[in-house]
Structure 1
Amino acid sequence: MKTLVEIKKILVKHKAEVQEKYKVSELGIFGSFVRGEQRKRSDIDILVEFGELPDVFLLIDLEDYLRKILKKKVDLVRKGAIRPELKEIISREVVYI
């Protein structure tokens, strides 16, 4: 099972490509992996913000790319689309790359 440190290393390695190809301005991890509560079947929650709003196909492509490099299902959440009741919780625990 991957750890937060391993996930961060992978994302750091691919950060420049993600920023350039997908126009990502911010990238972070939150959820069970940050809290150390992940299980074998847990997905990786990734917070993302874009320099320019992407179309749906680019979002799907980014999610697929992250799944491939992390070898785990990812849940991609756009920072500007966080539900108000979750915003404070996520902002407290997010680990930016």
Structure 2
Amino acid sequence: MTEPILTLPNSPPDRDRILATLRQLAPDLHQRYGVTRLGIFGSVARNEAKPDSDIDIVLELTVPDLFTMVDIKADLEQIFQRSIDLIRYRPRMNPYLKRRIDRDAIYI
């Protein structure tokens, strides 16, 4: 994939840096895992992240698979050196979560 992103201790995740890294990773994520859409939502997308914030990432896959999600999450946590909440966007999902994603998401 790519080298881990070095972050300053006690600094919040940087939205622009995360988006740039996801743009760089997108072709590989598509080839390896079938990721067709990728973005961020939540506090990082709203520029409200705190030093202990995780990164909320939303994606769509050509073939939904739990093991694929686990692998992607592990890869992204290694790269970003931060906890990742990875959500697969789908037509039928928790309505509250879907509204949050629809409201906040920034797709690459």
Q: Shared fold (TM-score greater than 0.5)?
A: yes
**Count of residue correspondences:** 96
Query: Does residue 65 of the first structure (1) align with residue 71 of the second (2)?
Result: no
Structure 1: where are the runs of 5+ without partners? none
Matched with 2:107 is 96
* CA–CA separation in structure 1 for the residues paired with 2:50 and 2:101: 19
> Greater helix percent: which structure?
1
TM-score by length of 2: 0.82
Residue aligning to 1:49: 60
Cα distance in 2 for residues equivalent to 1:27 and 1:50: 9
Consecutive aligned runs of 4 or more in structure 1 exceeding 6 Å deviation: none
- Are the counterparts in 1 of residues 54 and 84 from structure 2 also a CA contact under 8 Å? yes
Q: CA RMSD in A?
A: 1.3
Deviation at 1:58, TM superposition (A): 1.5
Gaps of 5+ in 2: 1-10
Deviation by residue 1:16-52 (Cα, 9 ceiling, x = unmatched)? 0011101111101000001111111110000011011
